[in-house]
Structure 1
Amino acid sequence: MAAPYTGACNCGAVTVTVCAEPVATRQCWCRQCQRIAAGGPTNNAMFPTEAVTITGARADHAYVAASGNVLTHEFCAACGTPVLGRSNVRPQFRTIRLGLLDEGHGLSPAMAIWTDEAPPWAVIDPNLERWPGQPPAPNVPPVSPEH
């Protein structure tokens, strides 16, 4: 599948539409993401902020990550479904949780990040590019003017 991507939380109160292709797809093994994902990694697609439209009530939680950046996780205020992550130093991106997107989106992680924080039992696809910590920010392609 190609853009636009759509999705919703478990209860349908939060919806997302994304009118661009991801600039990166990642599996994150940082400790905060392991907490969100019940011990495993989060699987995410990074999109240009201006390409993402979200409706519905969201709650959030901000913290200082191991990178030193302030990260904010947003989730549905009604059902708790993880929606996205955002960083204070990378406001040009919204990191959408792949599980939020409608089935058949066709996206999968191309890299695993924060692998040094993965538990000893973690199985990380050997075909993924690996980063022991925070990778550099991806380049942002221009978003089409029809958005």
Structure 2
Amino acid sequence: MSFSGRCACGAVSATISASQPVTVRQCWCRQCQQAAAGGSTNNAIFPAEDVALTGTLGTFSYVAPSGNTLTQFFCPDCGTPVMAQSSGRMHLRTMRLGFLDPGHGLEPEMVIWTSEAPPWAQIDTRAQTFEGQPPAPQSPTPPVPAQ
């Protein structure tokens, strides 16, 4: 299976060749709440080499609590959030689930930064939770060919 996505106006699109994401997370940090109009962001993390984007992206960067620079990417025409990129994890792309085409079948397996969630937030009890930043996700390692 591969994934695809596009913004609301169609100016930005993506093809993701990975058969599955490294992980799928919901984030309640304050910066994500601002990016998501008060809610959480829902994100699938893929190896960077598996993500091909077309179109022009707008960006906004800031220093995250980790000390890394986090860059948010969005369509400058319609404002659709596309992805995020951490300077500490350049090998990964954090794609917004709302950007991906319907039918992707992905749902968060982890909820992070729950300490910053508003009191009304509904935290999925089926998911692993972290009050802050979890350990960094690891890209899947390709199988070693038999010799």
Is the TM value for this pair above 0.5?
yes
Over residues 88-133 of structure 1, what are the superposed CA-to-partner deviations in whole Å (9 max), with x where a residue is unaligned? 0000100000000111000010000011110111110111100111
Report Cα offsets for 1:15-70 as digits up to 9, x if no partner.
Answer: 01101110010000000100111111000000000000000010100001122211
Partner of 2:133: 134
Aligned pairs for 1:2-21 (under 5 A) are 3-20=1-18, 21=20
Counterpart of 2:78, as a letter, is: C
Aligned amino acid, residue 59 of structure 2: D
Counterpart residue type for residue 18 of structure 1? I
1:10–1:79 CA contact under 8 A, matched in 2: yes
Gaps spanning 5+ residues in structure 2: where? none
| Cα distance, 1:143 vs structure 2 | 6.3
TM-score, length basis structure 2:
0.93
Where do 1:70-109 residues align within 5 Å? Answer: 70-109=69-108
Q: Which amino acid aligns with 2:125?
A: P
Superposition deviation, residue 142 in structure 1:
4.0
Corresponding residue for residue 59 of structure 2: 60
Residues 1:116 and 2:115 are matched in the alignment: yes
Give the partner amino acid of 2:115.
D
Higher gyration radius (CA): 2
- Would the aligned equivalents of 1:63 and 1:72 in 2 still touch at CA under 8 Å? yes
How many residue pairs get aligned? The number is 142
Which segments of structure 1 move beyond 6 Å, counting only runs of 4 or more?
A: none
Counterpart of 2:136, as a letter, is A
Instruction: Letter of the 2:23 partner, please give it.
Output: A
Instruction: State how far apart, in whole Å, the 1-side matches of 2:33 and 2:40 are.
Output: 5
The answer to whether the 8 A contact 1:44-1:109 is kept is: yes
Cα 1:142–1:83 change in 2 (3 A) is: same
TM-score (norm 1): 0.93
Change in CA separation of 1:136 and 1:8 when aligned onto 2, cut-off 3 Å:
same
- Partner of 2:31, secondary structure, is helix
> What fraction of aligned residue pairs are identical, expressed as a percent?
57
